[in-house]
Chain A
Amino acid sequence: MSILIKNGFVVLPDKMVKADIHIEGSRIKRIAPHIDADADEVIDAAGLAVMAGLVDMHCHLREPGQEHKEDIESGAAAALRGGYTSVACMPNTLPVVDNAALVRYVAARGAEAGLCKVYPIAAATKGQKGAEITEMGFLKAAGAVAVSDDGRPIENSSVMRNALNYAKTQGVLLISHPEDVSLSAGCAVNEGYNSTISGLKGISRAAEEIMIARDIILAKTYDAPVHIAHVSTEGGVELIRQAKRRGVRVTAETCPHYFAATDDEILNYNTSAKINPPLREDSDVEAVIRGLADGTLDVIATDHAPHHVEEKTQEFDLAPFGTVGLETAFSVAYTYLVDCGDIELTKLSKLMSATPASLLGIGGGVLAEGALADIMIADLNESYVVDSRKFKSKGRNSVFEGWHLKGKVVCVIVDGEVKERS
């Protein structure tokens, strides 16, 4: 199978060029201004951006156990629709993915679906109970690309120390969910003016920042890598910036909703805007964008968190946390980071493809001769209104419902095969 992509604006690691891309089998054979080659399929990408397929290092596909919210097939379909060629899914399922058999199950279900590539993240502690570390060697051998107790923090600092040191030993990335639950338990939204005037219980920024600070201190003390999930606060960004300056082995991600939305979204008690960590204020949004621009934040992940419509159609306090994100992430990032001039498209490609691929060690994430042909093509001039009824995801809980976004994914190629086209 060979594909020739003609006349696109190709987003390379350091520049954008008008070029053709020739794909043979699962790999990129050539990138050059004009390629005349026989191909089974020719894609006319005139006026379109051709980028490395997106890589999400943080999503929730809910399988096994909560297939009413999402399953691996529907989640992978949503990912493809959003331009993702690889996703890594969190282990807070029922049961928790904390043993090699379950890691193989998730990977096998992803392969069966045959859509985008699905990589399992395994738990860092058994049952995500925060007490005993998991068999990280076996988990990695079975296909886990990282370990995390995401959904909850590893509260006990001694356990966190051991998890970091053992993950370092096994060469597996530990992703921390930074939250001091003694400050956040029972709360629903950001603590501030909007929590005060809505009567919704506020989660202090300190709940996030205390744990980021602790993780940084542990990473520094033991020279162990740590990846901080879903950074949402100005103070969190600053802690990470300082730590990087001091050489601490910390990397970090944020999510589209933390640089595009504020807690104004909760004022009408919209449960799709109930997210953990919560949507913050303008000053945090600005700090997150600065953090992405200056390299403090390494990755944009989705934290795609689908829920059944009935679970979100409840009193605000009772509704579960999370917004879906796979099908909107690129458009939100393009609209709120690139189109408004804060960052370059090449930089966005690093944040959404190259860096997460490299952190997970899965390859791909860049367009280069010889690289895997994981590619997405987007029309950067097309605007649309988000309509969750059209989602491939089972989750309809999008905080971006009804938003006008720019930049639409039109074609996705995984391992040299066209998997999505519109």
Chain B
Amino acid sequence: MKRKDLLGLRDISADEIMTILDMGKEMRARLDANEAGTELKGKTVATLFYENSTRTRVSFEKAARCLGAQTTGITAQASSVQKGESLIDTGKTLQSLLTDAIVIRHPSSGAPHFLAKNIDIPVINGGDGTNEHPTQALLDMLTVYRAFGDFRGLKVVIAGDIKHSRVARSNIWGLKKLGAEITLVAPETLLPAASSRLGCEVSYNLEEAVCGANVIIALRLQLERQTAGLFPSAAEYHRYYGITDRILHKADAGVLLMHPGPINRGLEVSGAAADGECSVILDQVTNGVAVRMAVLKLLCAAAY
């Protein structure tokens, strides 16, 4: 793959996505066989997190170690960021510490792009504001790929807080490039301004939208959105937009239920649905390690 950074799926080709997914499949097989890799031996991957995260950070660290790399973890709460150090200075310092790649999570959309422009080593977007979370979408896509073998003609429903979701945006870019048909489902208050111009169907009605769906991606709904006035109550949201067994029955028989986690049980997804036989939520987590191994290997290999 001839690129320095992975900043999003909007600016990446279908071929590049397939390269990552095919390698992700190999990496998943390696994880299942408990085989250690050495491709990145002697290299250091830094995770630079300006927002709280457990699974993404741990997943990247696990992926790096599975390839033989060392990891450095920096969080905004416990670093010179607290002393007012700028993002560029932090990035350049990491580069001077002989870091080989930086995984960044940041509350500001575009922060990884800004960092990438100013340093020479690969930057991987681990989630920026409400823009993109490319490796989450790639792991979702790997999960779909392993189940269906193809994306063309698949009906994918993305339900929930699309407006604030970087996971939704990355999935929209990636899945559309590979030929899936996407329906976005949310109340208007949780849809982005130009939802109708994204090349997806848009629906307010979850029950109708899931008919014949092969994949349902439920998005996390932050409870702060209620105090901001975007939905009236947890009960009403769950009634109209929560994924339950009743909703899953309306979908295609082999439907996959996915969720980027962490789950609010009883809000965007019922406990029964999350633990039910359609749910691949835990499989997604393992695929996350695999796909991040693929990304790290491809970017670090390209750099040297």
Contact = CB atoms under 8 A, between A and B. Distances in A.
A244 to B, nearest CB: 30
Interface stretch (A310-318, A322-330, A398-406): A310-318
B193 A315 contact: no
Contact of A317 (B88, B129, B169, B194): B129
B88 A313 contact: yes
Contacts of A310: 86
B166 A315 contact: no
A315 B10 contact: no
A195 interface: yes
Interface in A186-205: 191-193, 195-202
A318 B110 CA distance: 11
Given A268-B113, A315-B108, A199 B129 contact: yes
Nearest to B10: A197
Interface string A294-330: 0000000000000000100111111000000000000
Given A313-B88, A315-B114, A199 B132 contact: yes
A269 B109 CA distance: 9
B195 A196 contact: yes
B88 A199 contact: no
A306 to B, nearest CB: 20
B5 interface: no
Contact of B193 (A192, A268, A269, A313): A192
Contact of B109 (A193, A198, A314): A198
A200 B110 contact: yes
Contacts of A198: 109-110, 131
Interface residues of A, number: 20
Interface in A261-283: 268-269
B4 to A, nearest CB: 15
B110 A199 contact: yes
A22 to B, nearest CB: 54
A313 B88 CA distance: 9
A318 B198 CA distance: 27
A196 B192 contact: yes
Given A195-B194, A199-B128, A313-B86, 18 more contacts: A191-B193, A197-B194, A197-B198, A198-B131, A199-B129, A199-B166, A200-B129, A201-B109, A201-B130, A268-B113, A269-B110, A269-B113, A310-B86, A314-B114, A316-B108, A316-B114, A317-B109, A318-B108
21 contacts: A193-B194, A195-B194, A196-B194, A196-B197, A198-B109, A199-B109, A199-B110, A199-B129, A199-B130, A199-B131, A199-B166, A200-B110, A200-B131, A268-B113, A269-B114, A310-B86, A315-B87, A315-B108, A315-B110, A316-B108, A317-B129
Interface of B: 10, 86-88, 106-111, 113-114, 128-132, 166, 169, 192-195, 197-198
